[in-house]
Amino acid sequence: MHREEGGIVLRFKSEKELSQQSESGQMSQAVIRQLRAALQADVDQSVPGQKAPKPKSQGRANVPGESKGEASVRLALTAAFGSWERGGEVLAECRPFQTRQFRADFTLPRWRISAEIDGWRHHGRSLSDHHSDRERAIFFASHDWLVFPVSHAQALKETPLLVDAISRAMSLRTPTPRELIQITDIPHKHGVWHQMTVLDDTGIT
């Protein structure tokens, strides 16, 4: 930074240089305070050629047991639609049904939409996995749920496409009123799952 005092241009590159001038006794403490404030203002402003500080994420960067793909999808969806806990739409680790303990990676409960990260490690490596995934998909569809299967590579590189697809699907579906959806936390060894219950207009499940 530089500052003109009494016709003299004073140049300082750091707090260290300013402190050295202060210790020399050549400038009053009042001038030193003004220069220190100006130096801090320069630091706070964006400087051409330097990277701007990254904005803080609205969601947690890491969740225990979460893969990089799951983290990428969670952050993209909550940025677009908001988290359920804060009045938005997205709820992670949700069990939408009372009769089956199927769990969805990410849901939009009011819209009956879910996103499932189908990484190769846990999906498709065995015949039983293949059959259980098909059974699960049929059950969701038969209960008017729209499931978006997402590969690990897509989760890392193509979340804007997922957000756009879900937005389009939301425009075609009728949401359930939020007050008719009850969410109960279920402690789990990997954290907390959420049991979803849909009430009718009388408040009875």
| pLDDT per residue of the chain (205 residues) written in tens, 0 to 9 | 444 444 434 454 555 565 665 566 655 555 555 555 555 554 444 444 444 344 333 445 556 668 899 999 999 999 999 999 999 999 999 999 999 989 999 999 999 999 999 865 554 556 666 677 889 899 999 999 999 999 999 999 999 999 999 999 999 999 999 999 999 999 877 778 999 999 987 655 5
| Beta strands 91-95 and 191-198, pairing class | parallel
Segments making up each domain of the chain, as ranges: 2-44, 68-198
Domain 68-198, CATH homologous superfamily name and number: VSR Endonuclease (3.40.960.10)
Element at 100 (helix H, strand E): none
Q: Hey, what are 19's tokens?
A: 């402190």
Question: Residue 36: what pLDDT?
Answer: 59
Determine the pLDDT at residue 51: 46
Q: Which of 95, 50, 106 is nearest to 194 (CA)?
A: 95
Assign residue 77 a region: left if phi > 0, alpha if psi is -120 to 50, beta otherwise?
alpha
Instruction: Give me the pLDDT at residue 134, please.
Output: 84
User: 105 vs 8, 66, 93, 108, 195, CA distance in Å?
Assistant: 64, 10, 5, 11, 13
Q: What angle do CA 64, 68, 71 make, to 5 degrees?
A: 65
Half-sphere exposure of 203 (CA within 13 A, CB side): 0
Q: Where are the alpha helices (DSSP H) in the chain?
A: 15-24, 29-44, 68-81, 127-142, 152-157, 159-170
For helices 29-44 and 15-24, the axis angle rounded to 10 degrees is 180
> What's the pLDDT at 46?
41
At 26, is the secondary structure helix, strand, or coil?
coil
Handedness of CA 195, 135, 169, 202 (dihedral sign): negative
- pTM, two decimals, is 0.65
pLDDT attached to residue 53: 40
List the Cα angle 58/181/92 in 5-degree steps.
Answer: 35
Long-range contacts of 51-54 (CB under 8 A, 24+ apart): none
Judge contact between 140 and 114, C-beta under 8 A: yes
